[in-house]
Every structure is written in structure tokens, then in C-alpha cells.
A and B are shown apart, each in its own frame.
Chain A
Amino acid sequence: MVPAVAGSLLVAVTYQVMLEISFYQWTAILAGLLVLFENCFLAQSRFMLLESIQILFGLCGILCTIKSTYKTGVSSVIWLCVAAVSLGCCFSVKYSGLYTYYLALFLVGRQIWRQVGSTESTLRLALAVLWRLIVLIILPVLVYVGVFYAHLAMLPKAGPHDSVMTSAFQASLQGGLASITRGQPLHVAHGSQITLRHTHGRTCWLHSHAHVYPVRYTDQRGSSHQQQVTCYSFKDVNNWWIVKRPEQPSLAVARPPDAIRHGDIVQLLHGITSRALNSHDVAAPASPQSQEVSCYIDYNVSMPAQNLWRVDIVNRDSEDATWDSIRSMVRLIHVDSGSALRFSGRQLPAWGFHQHEVVADKVITHQDSIWNVEEHRYTKAEDRRERERELVSAEMIPTAVTQLTFWEKFAELQYKMIAHAPDAPHGHMFASEPPEWPLLVRSIAYWLSPNSNAQIHLIGNLITWYAATLSVLLYSVLLAVYAIRRRRACADLPIRAIQQFYDAGYIFFLGYWLHYLPYYFMDRTLFLHHYLPAYIFKILLLSYVIDHIYFILHIHEKTKPLTNVFIVCVAVWLAYVVLTFKKFSVLNYGNVNLTESDLMNLRWKDTWDFILHKKG
């Protein structure tokens, strides 16, 4: 519903933008019509997709920026504020909205630059720069942060993608991890049973199992043949470890609990196999430059256990901070070698069940060497009942729901969004490449009716599409010609017209490339709908170029009779655009059962893939 409204409003906004630039109202109407009869905007706004909202906000922002640059005084301030809010909304919808924001910044910058060239006093100038910058930077950022605030406030419950976030983040949501961790003790102590989560990057837990490293790897290096330690991406009973002070034999938690502090030396016993986490001067299986980490098995082969680890709490507030579950980020430093326990990112082969490798790395500052306790409980002694009652009544320190401030959550969410994006799979059936977009080589199938050949595609109006591409070329040629002519001091056009020509260029031409070029440098799967924000600028450019040609024909005496011919041509072309739109709209509404020959009729390019149900 919202995208549909946004899509409808787009036509009106396009009209307004064009009106700001052009001399003629007809051009604005033409631009509006072209957007109206464009299949791709129709398809995009009929579904719950973000592009049409993004484009609407973006274009509104640009419109208001233009209005603001033409006005002075209070109305200029108001328009710029509206523009800033609108642009903030635009890039809060999708990050590609940032390009629109840059365009607006550029437009305002250009206006300031013009003022610098006028004879205003320096003080006034500085003020003008200052308030514009403040409005353009503060407001969008406020909107952006506000949107995230609303997002987090409205989504307090745990959901399916929790495990992407850190333990602390998850624990601050209702349900999910919080329901497990609520009521678990806060301070890790001697005898604590814990699971250790790799904090940043891939979600996995320190893991071991009753299998040993193969004696020789495929590249003929030897291993210690001790029990494997890995990082496992799923919850498992083998993820439990017991924290133990080296000098204390009993595993039961003392009363009061003997809390582990920053700098303490501990051993970690694997819960199921009771073997201690160990590292030694043997190359790790997949990253030979680091040390192997294993659970120690005493083979009596002059390879003593080196199973002492120093707890290094990264986010401590004091030097004797306690090791808290969830909250503390720790580095485990191997005492004998000084290296840090680290997730290496490499996957082990079949003998390691394709789990991830854990090593001890000499470079201790890497962020993959940070871990945190996720689940936590105190070990109960043999005499369970008594212990249990004691623990419940006295020693158990119930934790409140972890309170992360909004800013911490915000920062984490930003980081995850940036780090997460490149994971998209490659080679999607309907993926396309940026060079294919201007000629509409591929379409995207959105929906196919299960029992007929009715289907919905994201596909553009080919006539407009080609004309728009042509207009970009034409504009570039005109730009070069005018620039060269002007360099030779030849004035072809009246000052106002040339001014308008450059204005249109800065907004539409630059806007187009600003929304299009960056995709060439993106290393991810791209689709046709990424092109739509650029395409709206292209349509505007197209109507401007038509306007400009009319104007040229009009001002020269010789060519004046041709204007009527030109108008007729445009009218015929427009009619053709409307017809094409009508023809292809069956692929946007998806309400008509198409026969095979219908589809073949619509398939104007043999690179377009429509879907046919097999007969029988």
C-alpha cells in the first residue's frame, strides 16, 4: 500500500521538479507522463519493495533543495529543512539513498560557491555557509538515528536472526537468549560452567569433541594427534567448558564464589571429555603460521601440558575487574607462548567435520581473538540437593536483563550491517551487471501464477528506456560542443538558456551518474532494480533534452518551421510509449493468463527470460 502511494506521488513530484528547471509547462507534463507510463515503476510500486519509497523521498529532497537554492530568507531555510528531513528518510530506507544526499550536498555547495563569488560581506557569507551545513548535516543524521531508535524500540523481542548479533545484544532482547541467561550468575568463578562465544564476526562457540587431529595432514605436516578444538556454529553440549584455577583440585564453586579477575591464570576443562584446553609449538592445521590448540591428552611423549591461560578482559573498567558473563570481552592469552586464542576463519576439512579452526596466534590484538561467556552456570557438587539449595538461596547473583544503551546497540547494528552485506550469494538466475542496465538486457521475474502463465516481471518500457539512453549521449555531446564553443568565445545561446542547460546538467546528468557509476565498483550480486533511482534522473534528463531541442529550434529563425514537425514527432513517439506501456502492463498486473505465443510476442529481446509452464 505505502509503496503504491509512493509510486503514485512520484509522478507529481517529477512534474514539480521539471517545472523548476524548465521554461515550459509542457516539458513538466511530458516528464510526468513518462514516469506514469513506465512499466518498471509500476511493477516496483505494486509490491512491498523499498525502491519506490526511496526514490520518492530522494526526489522530494532534491526538489526542496532546488527550491531552497532559488529562494532567499526564511523560505530558503524552511525548504532546506524539508529537504534535509526528506533526504534523511531517503537514506534511512536504503543506503543507496546516500547518493541522492551527496547530490543535494553538491547542489547546496554549488550555491555557496556562487555566493562566494558575489560581493557580500565575509561575515554574512560565513553565516550562510554555517546554517546550511548545520541543517544539511544535523537533520538527516537525526532522522537516521531516530529511525533506528524506533526500530529498536519496536522490536524488543528476539527473532530468527538474533545469532548474528553479539551475546550482549541478544541478551537485551526479550525472549531468545535472554530467557536462558536470565538468572544465570554474573561473575565467572572457579568452577563455572560456561560456553565461550566468538564475539565479532562469525557466530560460533569454542568446541571440542572426542576426536583427535590426524597424525599427518595432506601436505605431510605432522600434528600433535591430540583432541581437536574447533569453533562450532551451533549450540551443542560439547560447547561447555569449566573454568578452573590451576591450584584447586575441586571443581565445585566455593561459597562465596571465587570470582576470576582480569589477569588471573586459569585452566579451561572441556565439560564432556574433562580434558584441558592446551596449546603448544605445533603448527595449526589450516593456518601453519599459528600454533595448534588442542585438548591435552598425555601420551607420555615428552610433550608436557601447556594448559595455562591468562584472562585478559578487553573492556575492563579497572585493573581488577571481574570476568562477567555476556558483558566481558576476554582474550585468552596462552601463558607459555604469549599467543592469544583466536578464531582463524578457516574451515577444517572432513576430519574436523568442517567446523572452523581455532588457533593460538602471536598477533594478539586481532579482533577475532575476542571471546565472551554466553551461557553460564556454577558447577554443583556431588551432593547436589544441598548444594543446589545453597546456591539458590545465597550465592546465586541474579542478573538483570543486560542493559545496553541505545548508542551501543546502534553502533553494533551499524557495524553488523556493513559487515554483513557482502555475504549475498553469487550467480542468481535474474542477476544482471551494471553495463547491461542502460539497454535493459535482463528483467527480473517477481511472481508466476501457479496454475496459469500469468506472471509479473520488473521490466521497463523499452521505448522510453532507449530514448533515455540516447538522451544521455545527446546531452554529453551538447555539453562538449557548448563547452568548446564557449572556450572559443562563441555565444550560441542566451545567457539564461545556457545557465539552465548547466543547471539541468548538474541535477539530472550528475544525478544519473552518481546513482549509476558506484555499482560498477560493487562486488556483490546486482539486480535491475538497483538501477531505478538512477533511471528517474535519466527520464528527467530525457524530457529536458527534448525541451532543449525544441528551444534551439525555436530561437533560430531558420529552423522555426521545424518546431511543428518536432512536436508531431514527439507526440507520435509518446503515443508509441503509451502503447508499449499498455502492451507490457500485463506483465506488471499479472492478471491475464498468457499463451505461449503472447509471451513470445512480448519477448522483444531474446535475453529476456519469461517463464512458461510446461504443458502436461
Chain B
Amino acid sequence: MVAKKPRSISTSSNKVWWMVFAVVCGATFLTRFYKVLEPDHVCWDETHFGKMASWYINRTFFFDVHPPLGKMLIALSGKLTGYDGTFPFEKPGDKYDSARYQGMRIFCTTLGALIIPLTFLTIWEMTKSLDSTFIGTILLLCDVGFLTLNRYILLDPILLFFMSCSIYGAFKVRSLTDEGYGPFSTRMLAWQIFLGASLACTISVKFVGLFVVLFVGLRTVADLWNVLGDLQKPVSLTIKHLIGRSVTLIFIPALLYVFFFWIHLTVLSKSGNGDGFYSSGFQARLEGNSLHNASAPKLVAYGAQITLKNHRTGGGYLHSHHHLYPAGVGARQQQITTYTHKDENNRWIIKPFDRESVEGVVVVRSGELVRLTHATTGRNLHSHRERAPITAKYMQVTGYGEDGIGDANDVWKIVVSGGKDGEEVQTVRSRLMLIHYLQACVLTTTGKQLPKWGYEQQEVACNPNLRDKNALWNVEDNVFDDLPKVSFEAYASGFVERFLESHAVMFQGNAGLKPKEGEVTSQPWQWPINYRGQFFSGSAHRIYLLGNPVVWWGNLLFLVIFFIIYVVNSVREKRAEAFGTLTQDGKERMLLNAAGWCFVGWALHYVPFWAMGRVLYFHHYFPALVFSSMITGILTEYLLSSVKSYLSPELGRTMYHCVVGVVISTTVYSFYLFSPLAYGMNGPLAHEPNSTMAGLKWLESWEF
């Protein structure tokens, strides 16, 4: 191979560069698009993302834990290629038949394929060395797992694509900075905007994009630090760079991010199955929701029929029905629950604590003592010193009394949270706490499901700790004839409120993805060693997401090697400094620096998963894999050229070329061996002798 200088305009090496690039692109295209439309059934998480694309196309509102961009792009590609949003995507394995899924799949595959050339460019930008670049890219190209993950209607190809764009942009900006381009020169700004936009897109696909944002943040700080360290230049240059980067890398991405949410909330204008997760104000915006275009009195007056919605995300309505708590579960009185659907049994009549009715219109005010009578059964909302059905620390809440006649334990103090005493209670707007007068506990829902006797509705209890975050309620329906009605439009949340609320709901959803006791989940330590894969498609056309073991174990080895080289090198340098002999040559330094940054990227995309409590999957490792493949590519060259320098020039060159050849051909051959994992396997499982994959089950834990 030709060792080249970056800016020397020698046409022959330029030609070689373009040839190699073309080969990589061609190989990428071939491997990615071979059999891309097989299997023609729903694979793995396509069932989720396909469904969500349909919802976008039909404009029905839904709830998901990921930000919207990835799904919107899938939907857009589907829409443009003629998918009409009618296929149900019910479960993995469903045949597509006539549904036009091809466009979406090819779109995702295209983005997935572009990662490889981008990686090529990135390593080139970092090292300006064709050997490192080629080896690193080939490793990624020949990874079967990477191939599998990037060929289906999933968020990962999109995420990885934008992530690769960001990394490329970050190193491009670094080169420009090093070459001394001015902070506001067109080239610099253009690349910075490209970088900022890619960052915004990455984080708008999945929140793990945060790690690449951190990575670029570190890179930028390092750039600024370098500029600052150049004592020839004035400080104002650093400040200009700082301003330029704050605008392009913070301000513009933030705007873009908000803009994507704006599209998301504007497109999804119809009521759908995600409504219940959101507040009353949010729902008032959705066409087809019962709160859309509805109207109700603005204030709550005594005698009004109201429904109370819990404020916790996904919280239901305060509910009761003609059934008692079973024997052994506290007092045998009528059940009180929360119920997420709208129902006649959610209605309550609000009364003063001491009278059945009041004359005229008397508005309920914060701090007053009230009783709530269930409209259909005539029982009062009641609490007493008995254990709540599930949460033993709390007190039981029941329906008690007959036709509104109960006892002193039916009295609740109504308090507007964050308001003063005497403030009027408003529909939707006021966040209410109901504090039990005698027990001094607050009406709350624990969100836990009651067993069958409670129809699997959620438990309502009275919490003696008044700081309960779930103890807030708001009045949603308010039926009272003597007050003028106002349209719900007035309560509908504005964009900013909805933007913030969807984030609160997403974070809660993410935090709720906890593994259950005894469930087998993927653990971070298993990932780099390629311990266990993931079935994408079962039955006849089996596809199994598993890394190419040669690539993965090689990467793992080189991570360790990197660490050793780094330590040894630092010590050597420090010693050299002490004795005043500097030895490092420029090329090696550059390679090591590039490997160092890749290592930082790898660690940023891998280590945080150790601290995460949520359910983790094998495919969370793939962003880190991109970095670790780059390290392997770069370090292979570093090691080889170190060894070469000890040998005679003739021998050195031969050895160098042989080893590079062996590395590349082994990788390609292993890809050939394991490629059926991605392109589909038929016949018996691998541990049976007559299987096509016989002999390839190198680890007991692989399940193909």
C-alpha cells in the first residue's frame, strides 16, 4: 500500500484512494441490498416501528418512549413509496402480502449502508492513512450483526447513520480548525452546521444520541483548548470560535429538536390509543377525544357532577362501582379505584361537608371541607384506619354510607396545590389535593393493579405522607347548569406545554422499563464478547442478530491492546521528557491520538449502560462497535508499522503486506461463513449435524 501525505496532490495516490473508496461502496451496496426484501414478513421490532409509521400516516396519536424523528422518517418513506398505513403489524412473523413495506425497508437499509462510507471518511479524516481506514471499514462492513441490524424497519439504522454523520462532522471540524480556518469562514460554518444538524437528528431518533452529543462536546472543548494554547493568536480568536460553536452546535440543534417535536405534535392530530397517558389539557387538542370541542363551566360549584383525573402520567379517573372489597381486604365496603377509560361510574357529586345541598351558586374554594358522593351508587368517598389492599403502608379508601348519608370519615379538605386558601377551584386548571380531615392523609393512587376482584383497575389509597407526588387530581368533566360554560379550547395546552409534557411522559416511560424478577435480560458484560444474540425472525427463514465473532473478539483484543499501548507510551513519553530526549514521530502520534478519541467514543457509548436500571438489549452495543472497529483498524497499522521499523526495509514491507492481507482475507472469509445469520437460515438448528451452520456454533450460548 502507499503511505501518503494528506495534502500532497499526487494524482496516483489520489486515484488509489478513489478506487478503494469505490470498492468499499460497491461492497457495501452488494452486501446490504442482497435479499433485502426477504423475509417478506414482519421481523422483530418492525412490529412496533411499522405500527408507529402507520399511525403517523393515519395521523392518530400514540405514545412511545423514543423521540419522534426516526419514526417520522420511516413514515415519510412509507408514504412516499405508496404505503397506505393500513397493515396492522400485529406481531413478528405476519406476512406482508400486498402491503407496500418495500419502500420503508429500502429506506432504512440505504441509511444503514451509508454508515460504512461515512466510517471510511471518518477514519481517513482522523488518520489520513489509507491502511487504517481500509481495515477499520472492512471490519465494520464484514460484521454480520451490523449488517442484520441495519436492514430492517428499525430505528437503529437511522440512529447509527446520524451518529456516523456527527462523528464525521466532528473530525472534519477538527481538521478545519487545525488548518487554521477562521471561525466564521463559510467552510467552517457549513461543516459546523452539518455537525449540529446531525447531532440534533441523532438525539431526536433515540435518547442514546446523548452520548454522541457528549462525545462531540468533548471534541469541541479539546478544539477550543488547542486554539487557546496557541500563544501566537489572540484570545479573541478563541472567543470567536466559542461563539460560532455555541450557535451552530447548541442553539441550532436545540431549535431543530424542538422543530421535530412540533412536526410530531402537529401531524398527530387525531385521538388514538396514547391519549390516556396525557393530561386533560393535552387531550383537548386531539380530534375525536371527548374533550375536543367540549365545553364546561370554568369554576367548580357545590352540587356539580365532576370527574377527577389523577395527575400521574397515565393516571386514570377516580372510579367506584357496585362491588365490595372482598373479605380479608380491609373493611367490606364499596371499592374505589382509578380507571383509565371514560365511564358513567367516574362521576362524583361535590357537596359541602355538613349539608346535602346549597342554595344558589356557591363556588368551591381551596381549604374548604367537602364530601364527594358517587353519582350512580350514592356512596361517599371514605377513608379509615385499615390497610389499603396492596400498599400496606397506606390507608384504605372505600365508598361508604347510603344516598350521601355517611359519617365523619367522609370529610375531605380540598386544597389547590400551590395556591392560597380561598382560591376558587377551576376545571382542568387547578391541581387538587384531597386531604382526609380526620386521618390527615391524602387521596392518592399507587398505580398498582388490583387483582381480579377489582377488575384489574388501579388501587386508590390514602397516604399519610402528604408529600406524595401522585396525590394531585384535576377536575375534568364538570356538569353544572347554572354557571356559564366555556369551551375547552381555553384549557388546551400550548405547544411548549405539550412539548414539556411529552418529555415527562417519555422519561417516565423509559424509567418504567424495568426488568421483572427472574426475567432473563441481556447484560452489558455480555455484549463485547458477543455472548448471546437476538432472533429477528423465527420459523422457516431464520435470522439471528449476532456479531461476526472474528470481528468482535478481534475488537475486544484490540481494546486491551490499546490500553496497554497507551499506558506504556505515556510512561515512555514522561521518562523521555524527564531525560530531555523526545522521540515520538508525527505519524505514530497521530494514529495514537485518533485511537485515543475512538476509545473515548467507545467508552462513552458503552460504560453508561452499566449504570442503567432499565431493560437492556444486545443491539444497544452497536454504536460502541463502530468506535471499537475504528480502534482496531488504526491500531493494526500502528502495531505493524512499529514492528516494521525494527526489521530491514525489504523484510518489513513484505511482512506488513502479508499481515494486512491475512487480516482482510480472514475478515472477509468469516463474513462469508456467518453471512447466513443475516441472509436467512433454513433447515435444522446448528447443533444438529446436517445443518448448514454445523460447526459454527462456537459458543454454547448462541441459539441459531
Contacts and interface: CB of A to CB of B under 8 A. Distances in A.
Contacts of B228: 484, 487-488
A15 to B, nearest CB: 36
A117 interface: yes
Interface in A481-526: 484, 487-489, 521, 523
B451 interface: yes
A345 B519 contact: yes
A344 interface: yes
Contact of A489 (B231, B516, B577): B231
Contact of B611 (A118, A119, A521): A521
A488 B229 CA distance: 6
23 contacts: A116-B571, A116-B574, A117-B575, A119-B578, A218-B452, A343-B518, A344-B518, A345-B518, A346-B516, A346-B517, A346-B518, A350-B452, A363-B520, A365-B700, A366-B520, A368-B518, A487-B228, A487-B229, A488-B228, A488-B231, A488-B235, A521-B611, A523-B613
B696 to A, nearest CB: 20
A117 B574 contact: yes
Contacts of A484: 228
Contacts, number: 43
B516 A350 contact: no
A609 B235 CA distance: 52
Interface of B: 225, 228-229, 231, 235, 451-452, 465, 467, 516-520, 571, 574-575, 577-579, 611, 613, 700
Interface string A316-353: 00000000000000000000000000011110011000
Could you say which of A117, A350, A366, A489 has the most chain B C-beta atoms within 10 Å of its C-beta?
Answer: A117
Interface residues of A, number: 25
Contacts of B225: 487
A349 B575 contact: no
B235 A117 contact: no
A580 B451 CA distance: 52
Interface string A557-594: 00000000000000000000000000000000000000
Contacts of A523: 613
Name the residue among B225, B465, B518, B577 with the largest chain A CB count within 10 angstroms.
B518
Interface in A382-417: none
A613 to B, nearest CB: 13
Interface string A363-387: 1011010000000000000000000
B451 A349 contact: yes
B245 to A, nearest CB: 16
A372 to B, nearest CB: 19
Contacts of B519: 345
A117 B452 contact: no
B517 A116 contact: no
Given A116-B575, A487-B229, 9 more contacts: A116-B571, A117-B577, A117-B578, A345-B517, A350-B452, A363-B520, A365-B700, A487-B225, A521-B611
Contacts of A346: 516-518
A366 B518 CA distance: 11
A116 B613 contact: no
A122 B571 CA distance: 11
Given A368-B518, A521-B611, A429 B465 contact: yes
A368 B613 CA distance: 22
B55 to A, nearest CB: 25
B687 to A, nearest CB: 12
Give the top 6 A-B pairs by smallest Cβ distance, nearest first.
Answer: A345-B518, A521-B611, A523-B613, A345-B517, A116-B574, A117-B574
A218 B456 CA distance: 12
A234 interface: no
A197 B611 CA distance: 33
A273 B80 CA distance: 66
A365 to B, nearest CB: 8
Contacts of B465: 429
A113 interface: yes
Given A350-B451, A487-B225, A113 B574 contact: yes
A119 B574 contact: no
Contacts of B575: 116-117, 122
Interface in A101-153: 113, 116-119, 122
Contacts of B611: 521
Contacts of B613: 523
B604 to A, nearest CB: 15
Contacts of B451: 349-350
B229 A116 contact: no
Contacts of B574: 113, 116-117
Contacts of A521: 611
Contacts of A349: 451-452
A119 B518 contact: no
B342 to A, nearest CB: 24
Nearest to B518: A345
Contacts of A365: 700
A119 B579 contact: yes
Interface centre among B516, B520, B577 (most CB of A within 10 A): B520
Nearest to A366: B520
Contact of B578 (A118, A368, A429): A118
A365 B519 CA distance: 15
